[in-house]
Amino acid sequence: MPVNNEDIAVIFDEMDESRFRSAFRQMKFMVVCLVVLIYAASTGGVMAQTQENIALPKILPGDEQALSQLLKQRRSVREFQDVSLSLEEIGQLLWAAQGITHPLGYRTAPSAGALYPLELYVVVGQVEGMDRGVYHYLAKEQRLVKTLDGDKRKRLARAAYWQSWISNASAVVVFAAVYKRTTRKYGSRGKRFVHIEVGHAAQNLFLQAVSLGLASVVVGAFGDDDVKDLLQLPDDVEPMIMMPVGKKAGR
């Protein structure tokens, strides 16, 4: 049945002011929701991700390159090309070091008691689709979350007793650990287990880098407090090693 203007006036006359305001707010909310849905549909149904929270690409399928060949080719490299890495390469490297490989949360590297004390941070200098800054790797979500803005590679090199070549890498993966995750079960012996785990994870990243045609090296000489302060790590997170990554110079 058609409604004329007089009918509408009667309806609103019968509503008190508070009910009118409530109805008006609800109507505005519905309009905003509609606009958001229209925008999402126009962009393929996926909202653009911010630089603070980056979903990493799906893990690449394994190639047929034999493990024995990767072991044979692995070398410590300290000279890198001035080129960018891809987001896919970064995602693959991080997954190799600490990725989830089982519904129960087991990872690519063994961990005493499956307690997983390691935390990985990426100091980004040249990576396609990523702003320069420091990112925290969330293994369970295969995602990076930005923790700091700006290129920190030169300052990281200074913290590593002026090993200036570190600043030439496209990115630097910093392996850190929360000791108490392991020591509260294993006591002081747990620290040794954490150090062993870092070695496992680092070798995984090393071999994955070789398989991707990339180069890296393990850096253990740096000022712990300097690195911790630079990356603004939480109080219970301690830096263990760093692995600069890039494409080998002179290839």
Domain residue limits at 18: 5-42
Q: Are 156 and 233 in contact (CB under 8 A)?
A: no
Reported pTM: 0.77
Do 66 and 172 have their domain in common? Answer: yes
Do 124 and 227 have their domain in common? Answer: yes
Residue 38 Ramachandran class (φ > 0 left, ψ -120 to 50 alpha, else beta): alpha
Do 28 and 77 have their domain in common? Answer: no
Q: How confident is the model at residue 208 (pLDDT cuts 50, 70, 90)?
A: very high
Question: Does any domain span residue 100?
Answer: yes
Residue 103 burial class via C-beta count within 10 angstroms: exposed 0-12, middle 13-18, buried 19 and up: exposed
Do 104 and 207 have their domain in common? Answer: yes
Domain count across the chain = 2
Question: Does any domain span residue 48?
Answer: no
Q: What is the pLDDT of residues 152-205, one digit of tens each?
A: 999 999 999 999 999 999 999 999 999 999 999 999 999 999 999 999 999 999
